[in-house]
Chains A and B, each alone.
Chain A
Amino acid sequence: MMRLHHVPQSRSMRILWLLNEIGAPFEVVSYPFDKTLRSAEFLTLSPAGRVPALEIEGERMFESGAIAEYLCERFPEAGLGRAPGSPDRMAWLTWLHFAETVTQHLAALTQQHLALREPAQRSPIVTQLEAARLGKCLAAIERRLSTPVENRDHLLTSGFSACDVAVGQAVYIARHFHRLDGFPELSAWYARITARPAFQASLPAPEARLYTRDFYPPLEETA
């Protein structure tokens, strides 16, 4: 059976959602967001000490982008991938990788707002800059969903795919750092994809939430 190594509300939630969409049997090992991930045992699974890691058919995989692509290829019947040569292949690759671009801003913001506990350690300008760059990513999604002829229901013209899962999970976290007001198509798409049972089944228990606040506004200069 597949085994996902998971930290709630981290990148591994993307793989959890994907596995829930696929529907093949798997089990989850959950970790707290702390030094456990640096233990020698975990490092044999994921050399940089990061989640997700996935055990699948005797292989051990790390990196959420790689795992997502591999699962789509391994379970083509789920319809979440677009194989090489298919009409939406270029867009599928683009938006799957774009999820990682969004997530890098989220990682920087999470580091500033949640990991650094002392206010003096934080950099207000970095929180402002990263929130602005996140806003540009949200605007890019809005633009993608608002086409001149007919708005798209999903990121790909050919319908729901792993792109919606990957970018959708990034937007789920992004809401903690940037409002979705002003992005009507994005908001409608987000409501559409998060109504899916597979997303609902991927939500953390309230006590396992990494983000204990609903919103973390950019920091103001204190000096």
Chain B
Amino acid sequence: MSDTPEIRLHHVPWSRSFRILWLLEELGLDYDIAWHDIRKGDMQEPGYKAKSPAGRAPALEIDDQVIFESGAITQYLAETFRLGALGRPPHAPERIAYLQWISYAETMAGVIEQLNINHVFLRDPSQASPVVIKLNTARLKGTLAGMEALLGDQEYLLPSGFSAADTMMGFNLFAAPYFVKLDAFPRLAAYKARIEARPAFRRAAARDGVQTFYDRDFYPVPGPVDKNVDKLKG
């Protein structure tokens, strides 16, 4: 790889690829953006699938190489640039916590994705499953509560300070409040305000643009639902 690599981010606005947009800004790297629209299906073209074989975003081109999966891109960028300052290398004291947060962000994002499908992508509300919405909303609350507890009094996810684990929360903390109000999670709300105040986050948000994915501020759980739902939470 050259000293000043040519970097292109394949990006869908307000999606997981925001994590990479923000991280590129934090790392101070030059890059350009290839914009994709998930509803237009342009990522299903063979040319794009040669880069990202499942037809997903983000994918990142670095010189003549391509990497996909936001967690993989995050780890790779963090360990490769700025002398690894935003990563925590193998055998570092915070290695376990660093890896856990990266995976935890993805666990949370998977739940958010199910809520996006049921609330936003299915245009006919009768196609959605109220039970699935209720279950996944409960799971999202559970992952947010886990994060609230683990955050404690820390400014960022790791005790030693800001890292690429934080940029993995970039998509999550934008999307989660559409489904679960953050009032019950004061540390999380303060953390969200703290990361949103970072200059690199603001630059990334400005490039991402004003969101048009969600057409309302909050998507409540539809009711009433079957009283047997509580039995299913195990």
Contacts and interface: CB of A to CB of B under 8 A. Distances in A.
Interface of A: 33-38, 47-50, 59, 61-66, 69-70, 73, 83-84, 89-90, 93-94, 96-98, 100-101, 104, 107-108, 111-112, 115-118, 120-123, 125-126, 129, 136-137, 139-141, 143-144
Interface in B113-145: 113-114, 117-118, 122, 127-132, 135, 139, 142-143
B56 A101 contact: yes
A69 B110 contact: no
A97 B71 contact: yes
A65 B71 contact: yes
Contact of A93 (B67, B110, B131): B67
A50 B106 CA distance: 14
B188 interface: no
Contacts of B142: 48-49
A33 B89 CA distance: 35
Interface in B141-176: 142-143, 146, 149-150
A147 to B, nearest CB: 11
B53 interface: yes
A98 to B, nearest CB: 6
B35 to A, nearest CB: 21
A90 B76 contact: yes
Contacts of B55: 136, 140
B232 interface: yes
Contact of A48 (B68, B69, B75, B107): B107
A83 B80 CA distance: 12
B110 A48 contact: no
Interface stretch (B5-13, B18-26, B97-105, B204-212): B97-105
Interface in B184-227: 226
Nearest to B144: A48
Contact of A66 (B56, B99, B228, B233): B99
B226 A125 contact: no
Contacts of A93: 67, 69, 71-72, 75-76
A126 B149 contact: no
Contacts of A59: 96
A182 to B, nearest CB: 16
Which 9 residue pairs of A and B lie closest in terms of their CB atoms, listed nearest first?
A63-B103, A140-B53, A35-B234, A123-B129, A66-B99, A93-B72, A47-B146, A97-B69, A104-B110
